[in-house]
Amino acid sequence: MTVEFTYSFDDLKEAFAPEVPAQLRSKKQQSMRRNGLLGWVLFASIIVFLFVLLQRSTPPSAIPGNTPPPPPPPPTQDLMLMLAPHITVAGFLLMFYLARIAMPLKLPKPSKFQAGVREVLRQSCPRSCV
């Protein structure tokens, strides 16, 4: 009596897929929430920064009998306009860097069954199908 069967690509893909423990999944969800919150805080701070910057640059309305306008602000405003995009990009890069440090990629070792299937595939299949 002989039994023959073949694995489909989906079966092999499922067999080789690493199982993610529930503890790692919850850490991943927490870090995703933290990164999402950090992104929203960064976005809100940029909006406030631009709003304040634009409010400073608009001249006061001319009212008859009003004193002459004050002298122009110091050139730090121009410096702020130049540095705003660089600070924003640095903030995003820092966010991604800290997220990578907080959640390193740790894959579990393959089981003996997965290692055995992988070895059988290497021996029986040409390089193009593995």
Placement of tokens 């004050």 in the chain: 70
Instruction: Return d(Cα 40, Cα 1) in angstroms, integer.
Output: 65
- How far, CA to CA in Å, does 74 sit from each of 4, 11, 70, 77, 82? 83, 68, 12, 7, 14
Contact predicate 37/98, CB 8 Å: no
pLDDT over 90, % of the chain: 11
Q: At 8, which helix (H) or strand (E)?
A: none
Does residue 50 sit within a domain?
yes
Tell me what pLDDT residue 128 has.
58
In a domain, 15, yes or no: no
pTM of the full predicted structure? Answer: 0.30
pLDDT higher than 60, residue 60: no
CA distance 51 to 39: 18
Q: Which domain holds residue 50?
A: 30-56+74-104
Residue 112 lies in a domain: no
Whether 99 maps to a domain, the answer reads yes
Domains identified in the chain, total number:
1
Residue 42 lies in a domain: yes
Answer yes or no: is 46 within a domain: yes
Instruction: Report pLDDT for 45.
Output: 92
Answer yes or no: is 86 within a domain. yes
117: exposed, middle or buried (Cβ count in 10 Å: 0-12, 13-18, 19+): middle
Q: Is residue 92 part of a domain?
A: yes
